[in-house]
Chain A
Amino acid sequence: MADASGTATAATSPAVAKVGAAAEARAVSKAQAPAKTIELADKAHTWPYLVRLEFLAGLIVMIVLTVWSIALDAPLEEIAQPNRTPNPSKAPWYFLGLQDMLVYFDPWLAGVVLPSLIIVGLMVIPYVDVNPKGNGYYTFKYRKFAISTFIFGFFFLWIVLIVMGTFLRGPGWNLFAPWDYWDPHKVVPLTSVDLSEFLFGIPASSAGGVLLGLAAIGGWFSLGAVFYIWKRNSPTMKKLGFVRYAIVAGLWLTMMALPAKMVLRIGFNIKYVLVTPWFNI
């Protein structure tokens, strides 16, 4: 074999070796049927054309990682002390978006239900996106809704909250500007009120307050129904079907409930929309 590849190749295929796979594929395809032409011209040998790129990428990553690891030490604080809670206590940085949601929603929602819905929501994407366009190439034109929703959720509700949680949240989980000193004694007056108090001055736990809260949340999600009735005869809606639409609308409105609550909280100091004996929203 060594002999064969050493001498026989030199005699028979220097052209192939020199010109490379691309030209070879083109030369072959010219002689064959048009259907096969596309197939061959579109492909390159994995060795060397792909493997060398992977090797290069791996090399770059390993060099950067090695230099990084020599230059920058992993943090190590004092030994764990269950009786000394640091202020602020922060989750690992990749969960700080979730921790920041605790400002706007109670733990059962911000810490359990919404994270689970993020995972479920990501998983159902392929089954509710019936748009056949943009499969395997970059396009915004044909996937405006899908891409804008994903970018909003990923960049604004995930990345931005992580950056905020990492750099701007100090002691007491208060907001600090990057140039501020993290004063552990900073006092932020808690003047927040519930929605029904803000609007009509009635306690949120009263019958009227609960009704108002239910109406507000029901109204938010009924936006999905209104949109359905409005667009029910459009080709997109016909194609999507009722069940898929209901899933998309439910998840979309749940996602958008976060910025909505942020506006209520930051802009109007509103704590709860709905108060019940079992849970608050």
Chain B
Amino acid sequence: MAENEKQSLKDKVFESQVWRSIFRHGYADTHRNRVLQVAGNVFLHLHPTKTRRHALRIRFTWCAGGVTFLLFLVTVVTGVILMFYYRPTGEHAYIDIKMLEFDVPFGMVIRNMHRWAAHAMVIAVWVHMFRVFMTGSYKPPREFNWVIGVILLVLTLLLSFTGYLLPWDQLAIWAVTVGTNMARATPLLGHEGPFYELVGVNARYDARSFLIAGQVVGPPALLRFYVLHCIFIPIAASVLMIVHFWRVRKDGGISGPM
């Protein structure tokens, strides 16, 4: 093939209407393209086109917030795959997990990945909070973003806790029993808590039975935790993550020395 034939083929592809409609700029390493690469990409435009240099140092951010977000995405993807094979009922839940383990191709790896990513996310979000505290990044004007971060931390723990019940094995049911038992000691609202008689709650109607849909952790609790785990909390966390990331930019980008 002659040199200009190659050139004209290149032109045909890269100048075509289809290509130009997808990629708005060239790839050559120019100042303009570097800016467009970020500003013209819906995923990358979370970033500013230019970043303060100290924020590039791994020693400053530990990349903990980003790692937390990545692990959240991993649990979403693997979680959706698991949902194809799992039924949240007393008869099926445990058998479905066994089937994932022994029958579904790569089922075990997907389940492992979901569980380890969830545990790692809990650790990553703590590390992120620790780093943000150590750099004083909650200080004005970023006070409210810290508050949102604390809510996200709580949601992360709740996501992990609601997921803990779903395998429906001894580990699951008793961990959740121990955890939700605390709710019956809630002052005023739990039937073993201080001043419960003022409100008139009892074992059938109190904070704990509201959480687990009954007096013991049984199939109704499994369904309740499943819906919270797969729908309610992920949506709440996603909305707050959008606000959290957006506010990082609106509050003047990543924190740094004035």
Bound CA span A137–B254, Å? 11
Bound CA span A46–B249, Å? 14
A82–B66 CB distance below 8 A: no
| B29 contacts A by Cβ under 8 Å | yes
Interface-side segment among A117-125, A186-194, A258-266: A117-125
| A74 contacts B by Cβ under 8 Å | yes
Range class of the A interface residue count: 35 or more
Interface members, chain A 143-178 (any B CB < 8 Å):
143, 147, 150, 154
**Residue in A43, A123, A143 whose beta carbon sits within 8 Å of that of B53 in the complex:** A43
When A and B form their complex, what is the total count of cross-chain residue pairs whose Cβ atoms lie within 8 Å?
263
Interface-side segment among A29-37, A128-136, A219-227: A128-136
The chain A residue sitting closest to B157, CB to CB, is A94
| B183 contacts A by Cβ under 8 Å | yes
Interface string of A20-51 (1 = CB under 8 A from B): 01001000000000000000001111111111
Bound CA span A126–B142, Å? 8
The chain B residue sitting closest to A111, CB to CB, is B182
B47–A46 CB distance below 8 A: yes
A46–B101 CB distance below 8 A: no
CB-defined contacts of B19 to chain A, threshold 8 Å: 2
Interface of B is mostly: helix
Bound CA span A138–B53, Å? 15
B169–A53 CB distance below 8 A: no
Interface string of B4-20 (1 = CB under 8 A from A): 00000011001100011
A65–B117 CB distance below 8 A: yes
A150–B133 CB distance below 8 A: yes
Interface string of B120-144 (1 = CB under 8 A from A): 1010001001100111111110111
Range class of the B interface residue count: 35 or more
B193–A76 CB distance below 8 A: no
CB-defined contacts of B170 to chain A, threshold 8 Å: 77-81, 84, 86
The chain B residue sitting closest to A64, CB to CB, is B120
Bound CA span A276–B28, Å? 76
| B34 contacts A by Cβ under 8 Å | yes
| B213 contacts A by Cβ under 8 Å | no
Bound CA span A1–B157, Å? 49
Q: If A74-B112, A108-B185, A135-B258 touch, does A278 touch B194 (CB 8 Å cutoff)?
A: yes
CB-defined contacts of B54 to chain A, threshold 8 Å: 42, 137
B139–A126 CB distance below 8 A: yes
| A199 contacts B by Cβ under 8 Å | no
How near does chain A come to B87, taking the closest CB pair, in angstroms? 14
B169–A46 CB distance below 8 A: no
Q: If A79-B94, A82-B173, A108-B193 touch, does A136 touch B137 (CB 8 Å cutoff)?
A: yes
How near does chain B come to A3, taking the closest CB pair, in angstroms? 7
Most buried by B among A48, A65, A75, A80: A80
| A229 contacts B by Cβ under 8 Å | no
Q: If A50-B56, A112-B187 touch, does A76 touch B34 (CB 8 Å cutoff)?
A: no
| B161 contacts A by Cβ under 8 Å | yes
B168–A80 CB distance below 8 A: yes
Interface-side segment among A5-13, A236-244, A247-255: A5-13
Bound CA span A2–B25, Å? 8
B185–A2 CB distance below 8 A: no
**Residue in B28, B31, B112 whose beta carbon sits within 8 Å of that of A5 in the complex:** B28
How near does chain B come to A245, taking the closest CB pair, in angstroms? 18
How near does chain B come to A49, taking the closest CB pair, in angstroms? 6
**Residue in B112, B135, B164, B175 whose beta carbon sits within 8 Å of that of A73 in the complex:** B112
CB-defined contacts of B164 to chain A, threshold 8 Å: 92
How near does chain B come to A177, taking the closest CB pair, in angstroms? 23
How near does chain A come to B60, taking the closest CB pair, in angstroms? 8
| B105 contacts A by Cβ under 8 Å | no
Bound CA span A127–B147, Å? 10
CB-defined contacts of A110 to chain B, threshold 8 Å: 182
Ranked nearest first, the 7 interchain pairs of A and B with the lowest CB-CB distance are A5-B26, A111-B182, A2-B14, A107-B185, A126-B143, A136-B255, A69-B112
Q: Give me the interface of B with A, judged by CB distance under 8 Å.
A: 10-11, 14-15, 19-20, 24-31, 33-35, 37-38, 44, 47-56, 58, 63, 66-67, 70-71, 74, 94, 97-98, 101, 108-109, 111-117, 119-120, 122, 126, 129-130, 133-140, 142-144, 146-147, 150, 153-154, 157, 160-161, 164, 167-175, 177-179, 181-187, 190, 192-195, 216-218, 255-258
A5-B27, A42-B52, A93-B119 given; 9 more Cβ-contact pairs under 8 Å: A2-B15, A3-B14, A5-B28, A74-B116, A80-B94, A92-B179, A127-B143, A129-B138, A132-B139
